[in-house]
Amino acid sequence: MAKRKKNRFAFPIGVIAMILAVIGAVTVIKFGINSVKNLTDNTAKKAEYEAFLTPVVMFDPDPFDDLTQAEIPQLVNSAVWALLKSEKGTEGYAYSDGGIVVPQADIEKYFIQLFGREIDISSMHQSIDMGDYDITYDSALKSYILPITGIDSAYAPKVYDIDKQGSSVILTVGYIGAKAWAQNENGELTAPEPDKIMKITLRESSGEMYISSIQNADSQEVIAVVSERHEEEMTDEAAPDETAVTDEMLTAAVEVTDENGEAVTDESGNAVTEYAEVEKATDELTETETETEEQI
């Protein structure tokens, strides 16, 4: 017998292969961890943007391509609600017969947080008629008189997409009707379809982001959002039970037959059975299981 020649490269190649396999496994693990991290970070960022947009989306200001085209009273109303929904709220403010007295400087602070400094709001203070309520500006006091009565908001924001472009961030935002939320069979709140989709652009100034435009989304973006919501709903649905019996196929004990079609029996004369998938109606399942148990 010829002596088998050893390959002197086999061991080094094997070691290299093992190292590459380990590197590959580590890479896959790191990729998985980073993917989960990015997903988590993105979800947290969406929630952060939704909180930021809430006082603006609440009362659905008219769209604008540039802040100079915006309806200033609507933006001031957003600043008012940003103050009211802040952690401090109306704590520390004086009350009058007309409502809560808030210095214009405090409203300006929240206006700048939402819409930056492109507009000199200090020279544009005025009373606001929002239809369901009024916000009165008192030039003598240099303050706004805010209504005390409760007011229902129109919408809540739902951020579907974050598109970072240089120093700007373009958000695809669904306007969810505030009264359109429903409960599922488990008693959990479920978000309805958005009444409309808007594109809200944020710009950066001095390290802070502010709203520079609110625009209607085009039809393709609306289709993309609706498709994404459908996929989320399909994912959230409970996976079907793989062991569930259907009307078409059942696993049941059937008699084993020989080539002549006659039943095969064991040494005791009992019919030999095996389990196989057979077409059965659901209402026949109980009968099949009972016969199987008797045979066993």
Where is pLDDT greater, at 46 or 36?
A: 46
**pLDDT of 226:** 65
**pLDDT of 22:** 53
User: How far, in Å, are 85, 106, 149 from residue 178 at the CA level?
Assistant: 16, 27, 18
**pLDDT of 20:** 53
Q: Which residue, among 150, 166, 226, has the nearest Cα to 192 in the 3D structure?
A: 226
**pLDDT of 192:** 78
Condensed to tens digits (0 to 9), the pLDDT of residues 107-141 reads 999 999 999 999 999 889 999 998 889 999 999 99
pTM of the model: 0.64
Point out the least confidently predicted range of 162-176, 225-239, 276-290.
276-290
**pLDDT of 247:** 45
Region 46-66: mean pLDDT is 96
| Phi (first) and psi of residue 159, to 5 degrees | -85, 120
